[in-house]
Structure formats: C-alpha cells, structure tokens
Chain A
C-alpha cells in the first residue's frame, strides 16, 4: 500500500483555532461557498481527495 500524503487544510477563518501547527499549508475561507470552492479547486489541481472531518475542517489527501 502506498503512503498517503496530507497536502493541505482548508478551513473557515472562524475555525482557526481548530488546527495547531498543521505542518502543511492552511487555507482560510470567509464562508462555506468559498471553502467549497477552494477545496474543490485544490483537489482538482493537486490530484487529491477532499475529506470532511465533520467539524468544519477539510483536509486534502493524496491517496
């Protein structure tokens, strides 16, 4: 099994404190629409999959 790489976080600005020292880039969005758009675009460009942690944090993972 290949390793899975965490590429980025995408979160809303109000959720800032939910990630601490992520190690990979964190992208901030001002609302849900922008969050969805950034996540979608990043996923398409970097060939990654968007996962929803359920607490407002989206992660981009290269499977």
Chain B
C-alpha cells in the first residue's frame, strides 16, 4: 500500500484526537485519570486505525481486508461490556449508587465514542482521497464537530423546571418527611429528624410536558439524578446511617418528582444547577406524545 501513509496517518491522528477531546475530567471523575485515560485513548487509537484503513484497502481492491475490518469493529462492543462490568462491580462501594440504568448509559456512551473515532478517521481518509491533505483535515474536522454536536445528551434542565422547597413534617409525631404534601420518608429517630429539619432540603422537579413526565418517572432516571446531586453537593451519609439516604419520589397526580437530601453544601442555586445538569438517560427517555394514543389521551 505505497502512497497511502499520509492518508492513513492523518485519519488515525484525527480519529485519536477527537477521542481524546471527548475524554473530559468533570465532576463524575469518570473515566479514571490517568489509567482510564490510557485505556480509552488506546482503544480510540485502534478504532481510528481501523477506520483509516478502509479506504486504502478498498483502493487496493483488497476486499478481504475490508471484511476483516468489519469483523474487527465488532470487538468494540466489548468496551461496553467492560465498562458495565467495572461500574457494576464498584457500585457496592458507592454511598449513593448510580443505578443500573445510569451504568448502562455510561457504557453505551463509551462504546459510541469509539465509533466516533472510527467514523472520523474514515471520513478523513475519504476527504484526503478527493482533496488531499487540506480536504482530509476539513472533512475530518467537520464530521467530528457534527458528531460531537449530535451526541450531546439532553439534561434534566431541558425537560423540567427545578425548584427548591422546604421540607414538611407531618404525622402524629411529625416523623413523616415530605414535600408539597407527598410523604416520602418516615424517620423514627429524633436525632435523625432534627438533622432533617436543620439541614434537609426538598427539590421539586416539574416536567415541562407529558414526554418529560414519563421520562422522569423512570426509576433509573431518578436514581441518576439522586446520584449526581449527591456527587456534586456532597451528602451526609455513611455505612450504618441509613436515615439520611436521599430519595426521589413521584407525585402520582402531577408527575412531579420530589427529592429530599441532606447536602453538605445546601446552596439553593447550586442544587438547581446540579439537578438540571444531570443527563437524560437514553434508556429512560419516553415519548408517549409521539404515539397516536398517547397524544390523543394527553389533552
């Protein structure tokens, strides 16, 4: 394959680069730094190499090579399995678990991002074939930017309004903790009850439409919100102290999600920000309004 070096190298370079750009350290601290980074950069490199080799192989009329590339691409499914297994294993060590839906979502994102590297490398080599170096750079850059935009996940802030409310204590001994008349937890220890009264906050997540309502009702989605809020604002919780477990429950009449938590940092604006930045899980997303029955019944 003489003469294709530049094409292949450019494809691999751009593909790996976009994979590295997608690896961001944020509050989730996932993937881990530095070793998680090495793992995913390497896999991104391999994916990009596969993508970059398709066009040269076709040009050489080496169709066997192309078929084998197809088989090799299958291997990237194992990334999803790897991430899922890892996160499920460490789930027990989390004070506030992510929940299986969130894990599945993260695993899927990691798999998809390798395909992103592969497609970018592939398109880059096509660009290079037709318009040489500049064409390759532009085509690769454009497709990477486009895919990056497409793969942005919605967040809770996009589909719901978030408010912070004080907790209400009802029942004969005031031990039922609730928000807006929805009782969510019964606490039998005075010590725990005082702590909830002192530093507990209630969060109201009000869906903007019926699609959002169905999405937020998903248990996995709610657990993801609880995990993310606890992750960003801290939570007063330890082994054996279950009284302060944060919860997210549904108001069956309005579809609002209520959440109670004792954050370490009870700043109202930050709480709102934390909730609204939680990603909407692909698996939790529902669109009843897209269906005939759903949209007709909605009015």
Contact = CB atoms under 8 A, between A and B. Distances in A.
Interface stretch (B40-48, B127-135, B171-179, B195-203): B171-179
A47 B243 CA distance: 10
B77 interface: no
A40 B191 contact: yes
Interface in B182-199: 186-192
A45 B175 CA distance: 22
B241 A51 contact: no
A45 B240 contact: yes
Contacts of B175: 51-52, 54
Interface residues of A, number: 17
B297 interface: no
Interface in A30-59: 36, 39-40, 43-45, 47-52, 54-55, 58-59
A63 interface: yes
Contacts of A59: 188
Determine the main DSSP class of A at the interface with B. mixed
Determine the main DSSP class of B at the interface with A. loop
A63 B187 CA distance: 13
A47 B237 CA distance: 12
Contacts of A47: 239-240, 242
Contacts of B241: 44
B187 A54 contact: no
Contact of A51 (B172, B188, B190): B188
A49 B243 contact: yes
B192 to A, nearest CB: 8
B242 A48 contact: yes
Contacts of B191: 36, 40
A28 to B, nearest CB: 16
Contacts of A36: 189-191
Contacts of B171: 52, 54
B250 to A, nearest CB: 14
A47 B245 CA distance: 12
Which of B173, B188, B189, B242 gathers the greatest number of chain A CB atoms within 10 Å?
A: B188
A43 B191 CA distance: 12
Contacts of B172: 54-55
What 5 A-B pairs come out closest when comparing CB atoms? A50-B188, A52-B188, A54-B172, A52-B175, A51-B186
11 contacts: A36-B189, A39-B188, A39-B189, A43-B240, A47-B240, A49-B243, A51-B175, A51-B188, A52-B175, A55-B172, A63-B245
